[in-house]
Chain A
Amino acid sequence: MNALKAGLVKLQSWEGFLLVVLIFIILMNASLTENFLSVGNQMNLFMLSIEKIIVALVMTFVIINAEIDLSVGSMMGLSACAFGWMFQQGVNPVAAIAICLLIGLVGGFINGWFVARVGLPSLVVTLATLIGYRGLARVLVEDRGIGDFPQWFNDLGQKGLIGPVPFGLIAFVILFLVLYVVLQRSGFGRKTYVIGTNRDVADFAGIDTGRVKIVIFVMSGLVSAFAGLLFAARVGAVRGDVANGFELDIITMVLLSGVSIFGGTGTLVGTLLAILIVLNLRNGMALLNITGHIQTGVVGLLLIASVLVPRIKLPKARAKEVT
């Protein structure tokens, strides 16, 4: 009886609610279409959005820290285009990958420096770099498409590395585990929450808040650059508009997870559940031949519901966090 009670209490957390929604969607999908549970469709479900869900993991850090990074989509584009351009110039692909990751690091640092040291709102800084990094990507490839990458590079994005599981999904799982430990079990993670809850208090407690913010933006840039390379490998070609508009999908996933836009709350497990919900929902709708724009609209409805519903059902659990 007590165990049942404890279980029910746990289900009343936001993550528990997401889990129920997820199970419901999976059951719906499985009953609507036969293909849904096949290994091929399950891999496809992840791989079609693998770049977005990888970046959503670090975006969780950014938003818990009460900031936002709108430039992730452009950074993915810049990294992919830089790779394509260097490849065309005859640079060794491995060196090119390293340089792309370095670009992500520097780009993230620029965001973090303007936010933490100049004291500008991250919304404005990353809006500027959203335009700027995309611009640099276009400078590199102009209006061409670049492809014909080495076979091993394309295979990393397209083929299974361990059985049917591709490299991107393995990277996602490893990144999730590492970031989970950092956010939920380390001092840096605690600092991320404290700064997000109240930056002044964190400052007075002796935390170098600026440094934490810069590190988080650098992480965001680096992971976005990595995701951009993954996109290049998966598609096998790059263009100036790679990953255009991805930032909004990524932020939607994170906000759906119960991470408050004002910072300080949310967990990486929540993000994982929200990612699974969005992916399964989209996949189910795609199997039912519902177009992309409508799918995005449904996800939008879900986003608003995710803030409104808990106020009715779980006044204690979430209402405080949201207002």
Chain B
Amino acid sequence: MGWIDRISPQTLRILALLAVLALTVLFFASQIENYFNARLFNRVSSSVAIMALIACAQTLVILTRNIDLSIGSVVGFTAFATGSLVTNNPDINPLLLAAYAMVVGAGFGVVNGLLVAYARVPSIIVTLATMAIFRSLLVEYSDAKSITSDALPKWLVEFPNVPLFTIAGVELRAAFVTSLIIVFAVHLALSRLRPARKLFAVGSNPEAAEMAGINQKAVIFAAFVAAGALAGLGGFMFLARFGNITVVAGLGFELKSVAAAVVGGVAINGGSGSVIGALIGAILVDLIDTSLVRWELVSEFWREAVLGLLILTAVAVDAILMRRLIALRVRREKARKEAAK
């Protein structure tokens, strides 16, 4: 048995993504003077802190063969709600505030989950609708006001920028570290915990999962609630980073999170993928975004065009290579059986 028979497609994907990430850095380092330095890391890590959480949330839902298009509105609403709570109660305990954001987010997740899992309305319809509904709730709730950063307590505004460790100018900032810890915790749960493994079972074959005694509805419901809670935490991070929150906060995050997950190798048809992949996907997307702005050869307006091309290439190459890999393994398996005879 060679390595090709033993390595799992998931591991292969992560390795390939890391290679692409390294190549991207090398490419831009050769193009842009003074590119590869601590500031690049600090800049990318600050913005990935938010997107990593949201991509992670989206991954949980996609794993069960569903999609959550309301995630941007949930981020916007929780950012605003958390902001107005802390504006009115500046002395509130930080952990309590983060918990509040997660509870509000999870509440939206409950609405989505009930409609998708128990009322059995297709998730794309439910979340397309709740995207608009949650956003209009925000408009009502905000009453044409916005949250401003000067009304927020100092610790909250500084939270994204506080370095926990500094190694040669590379700062590991609090928000980024928090996101990393959460993503790795979700990853551990998904790969080690029995209840979390059910997400994969339901996503890869709902009928088989049902026959194996898995309560499909409960699993899908839980995925939406967990995604809502993570998106709520994302809203908290969003508030901390930007400070100024209006009714359009988080607009467009739904598609960005799907993009990060898909680039990270999460199968849109469910059942396969990892949150680590989604994390690397989010980093890759952000790295390209940040780097193109600094690349003098092309105007910064190429950012989105290149990003679209990247997603399409990543998915197409992934699909073709995976098909080849599976075909290759089948051939080798056959050859081994022949040889055994």
Chain A interface residues (CB < 8 Å from chain B): 68, 70, 114, 118-121, 123-125, 127-136, 138-139, 142-143, 240, 248, 251-252, 255, 261-262, 291, 293-294, 296-301, 303-304, 307-308, 322-323
Whether B312 contacts A128 by the Cβ 8 Å rule is: yes
Binds A, one of B30-38, B162-170, B254-262: B254-262
- Chain A proximity of B144: nearest CB distance (Å): 9
- Counting from the closest, the 10 A-B pairs by CB-CB distance are A132-B308, A297-B136, A135-B304, A135-B305, A300-B132, A300-B129, A128-B311, A131-B308, A128-B312, A296-B132
Closest Cβ of chain B to A100, distance in Å, is 17
A297 touches B135 (CB 8 A): yes
Is A297 touching B128 in the complex (CB atoms < 8 A)? no
- B154 interface residue per 8 A CB criterion: no
Contact residue among A114, A135, A139, A248 (Cβ-Cβ distance under 8 Å from B316): A114
Provide the main secondary structure of the chain A interface. Answer: helix
Contact A119-B319, Cβ < 8 Å, known A251-B128, A293-B136, A304-B126: yes
Give bound CA distance, A323 to B130, whole Å: 19
| Structural contact, A123 and B268, CB atoms closer than 8 A | yes
B125 touches A114 (CB 8 A): no
* B269 is an interface residue with CB less than 8 A from chain A: yes
- A–B complex contacts, Cβ < 8 Å, 25 sampled: A68-B124, A118-B319, A120-B319, A123-B67, A125-B312, A128-B259, A129-B308, A129-B312, A131-B311, A132-B304, A132-B305, A133-B308, A134-B304, A134-B308, A139-B305, A255-B125, A261-B122, A293-B132, A293-B139, A297-B132, A300-B131, A300-B136, A304-B125, A304-B126, A308-B119
B119 / chain A contacts, CB cutoff of 8 Å: 308
Give a binary string over B294-330; 1 marks a CB under 8 Å from any A CB, 0 the rest: 0000010111111111011001100110000000000
From the candidates B115, B139, B312, name the one contacting A132 in the complex (CB within 8 A): B312
How many A-B pairs with Cβ below 8 Å?
134
Whether A300 contacts B122 by the Cβ 8 Å rule is no
A142 to B299, CA, bound (A): 9
Cα-based distance from A293 to B142 in the complex (angstroms): 12
Q: Report the minimal beta-carbon distance from A160 to chain B, rounded to whole angstroms.
A: 33
Q: Taking each of A128, A136, A261, A299, which has the highest tally of chain B beta carbons within 10 Å of its own beta carbon?
A: A128
- Separation of A138 and B269 alpha carbons in the complex (Å): 31
Q: A132-B305, A139-B301 are in contact. Are A322 and B139 (CB under 8 A)?
A: no
Contact at B140–A294, with CB atoms within 8 Å?
yes
Cβ contacts under 8 Å, A130 to chain B: 255, 308
B247 at the interface (CB under 8 A from A): yes
Complexed CA–CA distance, A240 and B299 (Å): 15
User: In the complex, which of the residues B120, B122, B132, B133 has the most CB atoms of chain A within 10 Å of its own CB atom?
Assistant: B132
Q: A136 to B124, alpha carbons, bound, how many Å?
A: 27
Contacts of B121 in A (CB 8 A): 304, 307-308, 322
Contact between A127 and B311, CB atoms less than 8 A apart: yes
Closest residue on chain B to residue A260 by CB atoms: B122
Instruction: Decide if B307 touches A300 in the complex (CB within 8 Å).
Output: no
Residue B218 is within 8 A (CB to CB) of chain A in the complex: no
Q: Give bound CA distance, A296 to B69, whole Å.
A: 15
Closest Cβ of chain B to A109, distance in Å, is 14
Residues of B within 8 A of A303 (CB): 125, 128-129
B132 touches A299 (CB 8 A): yes
Interface contact A296-B135, CB-CB below 8 Å = yes
Additional 18 contacts, C-beta under 8 A, given A118-B320, A303-B125:
A118-B319, A119-B319, A128-B315, A132-B305, A135-B304, A135-B307, A142-B299, A251-B128, A261-B122, A291-B139, A294-B140, A296-B135, A297-B133, A300-B128, A300-B130, A300-B132, A300-B136, A304-B115
Q: Does B20 contact A (CB under 8 A)?
A: no
User: Contacts A120-B315, A125-B312; is A255 near B128 (CB within 8 Å)?
Assistant: yes
In the complex, how many angstroms separate the beta carbon of B69 from the nearest chain A beta carbon? 8
Chain B residue numbers with a CB within 8 Å of A70 are 255
Is B255's CB under 8 angstroms from A127's CB? yes
Expressed in whole angstroms, the Cα–Cα distance for A136 and B299 within the complex equals 12
Residues of chain A contacted by B115 (CB below 8 angstroms): 304
**Is B22 engaged at the interface, CB distance under 8 Å to the other chain?**
no
Task: Say yes or no: is B4 at the interface (Cβ < 8 Å to chain A).
Answer: no
CA distance A136 to B137 in the complex (A): 34
Question: B69: which A residues are within 8 A, CB to CB?
Answer: 248
In the assembly, what is the distance between CA of A44 and CA of B137, in Å? 28
Residues of B within 8 A of A294 (CB): 136, 139-140
Q: Which residues of B contact A301 (CB under 8 A)?
A: 129, 133
Task: Output the nearest chain A residue to B248 by Cβ-Cβ distance.
Answer: A293
The reply to whether A248 and B128 contact each other, CB–CB distance below 8 Å, is yes
Bound Cα distance A262, B140 (Å): 34
